[in-house]
Structure formats: structure tokens, C-alpha cells
Chain A
Amino acid sequence: MRLICAACGNYVHFEVDVEMVRSVRSTPHGVAVENSLENGWDDSETTLRMGVIDVVDYCTKQDMDALRWDAESGCYISAYISCARCGSKRVCVPYQPWSPPKNHVTLEEELKLNRHEFQWLRKERERHADSMPVL
């Protein structure tokens, strides 16, 4: 589950607006719009797929930066993605990637616990630095 609609609970189907490159070809009967093919590579399909993936990755990673405050509804809404079932834009990530475990240790305690390992790491780095060949 990467995204969820806070209005209806949908976490599968969504909608997003992206830019897609199309080819415009002049014909004797007018203008024909079709997929842009370059050496057998469908550029239109690639731009569409990459556009969707980029927006989803951005919204998943940035979370709050991808949301904006909507004064009418009085809640945060997604600036890019909407729910394909109910049409709501209250789409966000369903959880924080990091959540404190039950035996939670504060950062300060964790640094103290790992102090010896860090000192060993620094010594190891200095030893390797001394043994580097001199040109």
C-alpha cells in the first residue's frame, strides 16, 4: 500500500494529470495526431509511464510537500493525485516510513551505545589512511 484516499479508503485506483508527447503529422486531409515513434521506440508511451511513476514517487517520498491546505473542505489535499473511485483529492501516504518500536531508544542513548563501534571505525579508517601508498 503506497497511497490511500482518506475519504473512501481506496488504496488501489488513482488518477493523475501528466504531460504526454504526441506526434503531429500533416496529411493531405488535415492533421493526424498519433504516438511519437523514434527508431521503433514509443516516446509517447515512455513519457506517460515515466510521468505517472515520477508523480507517485514524489508524492510517496515528499508526503506533506505534495499536500496543500484547502480552505473550503478544511483539510489537506493532494496537489497531484486524486482518487479514481470517489474523485476526492484527499490522497496521502498511509503511514510514516519510520515509526518508533516498542523498545524505543532515543537518539542520544543510541549514539552512546554505539560510541565504541564508531571509535573503532575511525581508528580503522586512520590505519588504512596511514597504509596508503605514497606516490
Chain B
Amino acid sequence: MQIQCRSCSNHESFVVPLWVRATFKFDEDGTISILHVRQLESLEEKLADQGKTSFSLTCSECGGDAQVVFDEYSTRDQESREKAALEAL
């Protein structure tokens, strides 16, 4: 699996919003303290649902939309096969 930015050449660092359940308490002075944070969504499911839902996986460098390529090796194989076929011709 590979994640690529559609706008720039970044393929390393990205940003995604995830829903979490935060347990908090009110202190005596009225401020809020976070006690616990539990993740409600799995990133794997979000990545797998790419294209079906808009979850806004964005590039951390340019802010553009990111693209998840699950079988990058197969596309490379196909390209190399096409290249070899052309060379053979």
C-alpha cells in the first residue's frame, strides 16, 4: 500500500481527522481536564473506504487530497509488461 499526494510529490506525511471519545472532568476552578481518549474509528477502515466516503486524507505539505494505492506493485508490473511488449515489437 502506498499513499501519494495528487498535487505534489509527497508520499510520506499526511493528515487525517479521526473521531475519538474523550472522557473529561471539571476541575474545581472550572477548567477541563482530559482523563482518557479512545479512538472510535480505525484508520484501516477509513483507508479501505477511500472513494466511497470523503474522509479528507490530506497532504501535510501542500494540503491537497491524497490518494491511496493498494496494489502499487501490480500496476508497476503491468507497466513493465507493456514496456517489454513494446520493446519486443
Contact = CB atoms under 8 A, between A and B. Distances in A.
Q: Does A pair with B?
A: yes
27 contacts: A2-B26, A13-B24, A13-B25, A14-B23, A15-B23, A17-B22, A18-B19, A19-B17, A20-B18, A20-B19, A20-B20, A21-B17, A21-B18, A23-B14, A23-B15, A25-B13, A26-B12, A31-B3, A31-B43, A33-B43, A36-B60, A48-B20, A48-B37, A49-B32, A52-B34, A56-B32, A84-B23
Contacts of B30: 2
Given A22-B16, A31-B43, A13 B34 contact: no
B34 A48 contact: yes
Interface string A37-61: 0000001000111011100100000
Contacts of A76: none
Interface size range on B against A: 20 to 34
A86 interface: no
B40 interface: yes
Interface of A: 1-3, 11-26, 30-31, 33, 36, 43, 47-49, 51-53, 56, 84
A36 B21 contact: no
Contacts of B32: 49, 52-53, 56
Contacts of A13: 23-25, 35
A60 B19 CA distance: 22
